Structure 1
Amino acid sequence: MKTIKNIILVIAISMASISLAQIAPVDDNGLAIGGYDVVAYFSGKAEKGLESYSAKYNGVTYYFANITNSNAFKKAPKKYLPQFDGYCAWGVGEKETKFPINPETFDIVDGKLYLFFNGPFNGAPFNTLEPWEAETSRLIKAAHKNWDKINKSN
């Protein structure tokens, strides 16, 4: 019995660490946001999509949790796309660079989706959503000002 509890504990810890993994906004296979549903964010949750509900936009594949979300995206994709091509909004605004993101860490401001780095950094946890929330207005302005320069240089 103790062995089973230990196995379950190891699995739970492994799953928790997986959810904190940082990813590129678009992977090498052209999949956006690790397969997370960009429409679902607007209902307040980070939700994995399914390959069976997918759509391509500008050469990038997006997965959706259901047909309703897939259809909403197909009707107005720009409405749901994350800002700054999905890179960490705080990184663009505060550090003038592209950081990977944790697809479960996000914010919706004025109908726009922003994604964030949230994981280990220099041996300690770092959630960029926290400093973002402390200075959202300033960081949004800075990020939009920085984005063209950052995007062209990389």
Structure 2
Amino acid sequence: MNRFPLKIAGIAVALTMASSAFAGDQYVDPTGYAVSGYDVVAYFDLAQNPVGTAQPQAVPGDKDITSTYNGATFAFSSEENKAKFDANPDAYLPQYDGHCAYGVAKGGKVPGNPHLWRILDGKLYLNITENVVGFWEEDIPGNLQLSEANWVDIEDDPASDRAIPQFESPAPVN
């Protein structure tokens, strides 16, 4: 069921305007890991569901397979994924330092939930709650334009220190 129609051409325009969106403090939740200990490289191997439907669950990282980047520890499910990240971290980092894409569109930094994700134009975006995903998906191109414009002003603000609502993040496996 696709409740939110998209104008694909509009997404391409909005993403073309997107800049590198990950230079401030990375959001780290109480696990002590970026993206709650989930493998950021693994997202790019998951089948992405259509807008308006839930995405597959994120892949947990392994506490013994980690890299530090942008002041945060990232966990990976395999040595191969760690090597991919280490070779080109910018290709895998969640946008807005792991903060909610819709929150940035509204002008603030709030946590990004690793299970509420979407990849657009090769970039990983997270959102905070299922309700927020609905708002974001109603106008992805417009919200990305707002996010990119707002990010310039809030990027240097401290990372969110809030917990992700209704989310229990297990520490990375093993």
TM-score where L is the length of structure 2: 0.65
Q: How does 1:84-103 map to 2 (within 5 A)?
A: 84-93=96-105, 95-103=106-114
Q: How does 1:52-71 map to 2 (within 5 A)?
A: 52-71=64-83
> How far off its partner does 1:143 sit?
0.3
Aligned residues: 123
> How far off its partner does 1:127 sit?
2.5
1:34 paired residue among 27, 31, 36: 36
Structure 1: unaligned runs, 5 residues or longer = 1-23, 119-125
> How far off its partner does 1:141 sit?
1.1
The alignment status of 1:137 with 2:141, answered yes or no, reads yes
Could you tell me how far apart the structure 1 residues matched to 2:73 and 2:102 are?
24
Could you tell me how far apart the structure 2 residues matched to 1:26 and 1:112 are?
19
AA of the residue aligned to 1:33: V
Verify the 8 A CA contact 1:30 1:59 in the aligned structure 2: no
Could you tell me how far apart the structure 1 residues matched to 2:70 and 2:124 are?
18
> How far off its partner does 1:117 sit?
0.5
**Percent of pairs with identical residues:** 41
Aligned to 2:93: 81
Alpha-carbon RMSD = 1.8
Q: Where does structure 1 differ by over 4 angstroms across 4 or more consecutive aligned residues?
A: none
> Which structure has the greater CA radius of gyration?
1
- Between Structure 1 and Structure 2, the one with more helix by share is 1
AA of the residue aligned to 2:150: N
> How far off its partner does 1:73 sit?
0.3
AA of the residue aligned to 1:131: F
The alignment status of 1:111 with 2:122, answered yes or no, reads yes
